[in-house]
Amino acid sequence: MKSKAWYILINILFLIFLFWYVLPIYVMVITSLKTPLEITQRTYLFLGGAPHFENYLQAFKLSYKSLINSSIITVVATAVSTFLGGLGGYFLSRFKWRISKPLFVLIVIGMFIPYQAVLIPLVQLMAATKLALTYAGLIFSYIILNVPTAATLMGTFFFSIPKELEESAEVDGASKTQIFFRIITPVAAPAYISTAIMIFTQIWNEFLVALTLSTPYTMPITVKLAEIKGSYVALYNLQMAATLISSLIPLLFFLLLQKYFIRGALAGALKG
């Protein structure tokens, strides 16, 4: 009898749990397809009438410029940080030199420096160099903030690549640079994908630096969404449509490339 009660209890807990995770995303989709009137009429969890796809059109009109901005900023910053992180991570995982240890400590801590601790100088730097007026401001900021993460993630992956591969090339007289680009990089392609996905998601979703440094011309999607939420307070249908649009790209990455996403997350937890 005791085990049956347990079984029921666990199943109930489990159902509540599922509900907790399904409801928000379900509500987001359903609300985004209603009219404001249908929302206030409390049609609860179902569509009140025909789905109103024009909400998406309106949300897209409001946010497409920011989607483009975010895409440019995120793609460039991700590519550069991942590439430079790959170089640095390779050094850290293969060479034991006097500065390796202190550098490693600085980089690991650098991964977790709260953005608040660099925000004021960052704004000053971007204003002084006039980079803040263009995409370059946010791109450069995100590279500074993400190179340590990329180096740590890539380094963790390089550790799992057997050294024999390089040693035979070494005997053949190849230089370290040649070995890295010709032998290691192709083998490490999945690691690059994982690291790039992690950093892409991080930059696409970043808010504090984006909020502080963006101009009307460079405004990324997170800042735009916050603005839409603030200016269309009662229009939950529009808010939810914009929410869905702005989370679509990282969500698709996650759903389609989940294996890489998880590997990246685990590498950050030193379990690459």
Partner 1 sequence: MVSLGIGVKKEKKRRFRVSISEILIFLLPLIFFTVILYLMVGWTFYISFSNWEGVSPKYEFAGLKWYKLMFNLSRFHIDVRNNLTWLLLGVFPTLLIAIFLAYFLEIGGFKKGESLIRTLILYPASMSFIVTGTIWSWMYQPDKGVINTLLRLLHLDFLQSKFVTDQATANYWLILIFIWQYLGFAVIILQASMRTTELQEMVEAAIIDGASKLDILFRIILPNIRGGILILLSLLLISALKVFDIVYIVTFGGPGYSTDVLAFFMYIATFQQHLVALGAGLAVIIFLIAFIIIIPYTIYAMKRWFA
User: Which residues between 86 and 145 bind partner 1 (CB under 8 A)?
Assistant: 87-88, 90-97, 100-101, 103-110, 112-122, 124-125, 143-145
How many other CB atoms are found less than 10 A from the CB of residue 208?
12
253 and 197 in contact (C-beta within 8 Å)? yes
Q: Is 46 in the site for partner 1 (CB under 8 A)?
A: no
Cβ atoms 52, 59 nearer than 8 A: no
Q: Choose the stretch contacting partner 1; rule: CB under 8 A; options: 47-55, 82-90, 131-139, 187-195.
A: 82-90
Our finding on whether 37 is near partner 1 (CB under 8 A) is no
Rounded Cα gap, residues 35 and 48, in angstroms? 8
**Minimal distance, residue 75 CB to partner 1, in Å:** 17
Of the two residues 122 and 135, which places its CB atom closer to partner 1 in the complex?
122
9 lies in the site for partner 1, by CB under 8 A? no
147 near partner 1, rule: CB under 8 A: yes
Of 84, 235, 229, give the one whose Cα is nearest residue 149.
Answer: 84
Least distance CB 124 / partner 1 (angstroms): 7
Residues 157-186 that bind partner 1 (CB under 8 A): 159, 163, 170, 175-177, 180
Residue with tokens 């980079």: 131
Tell me if 202 sits within 8 A of 115, measured CB to CB: no
Length of the chain (residues): 272
Round to whole Å and give the CA distance between 199 and 167. 31
CA 40 to chain CA centroid, nearest Å: 35
Q: Which is closer to partner 1, CB of 109 or CB of 165?
A: 109
246 lies in the binding site for partner 1 (CB under 8 A): yes
Q: Does 21 bind partner 1 (CB under 8 A)?
A: yes
Min dist. Cβ of residue 14 to partner 1 (A): 9
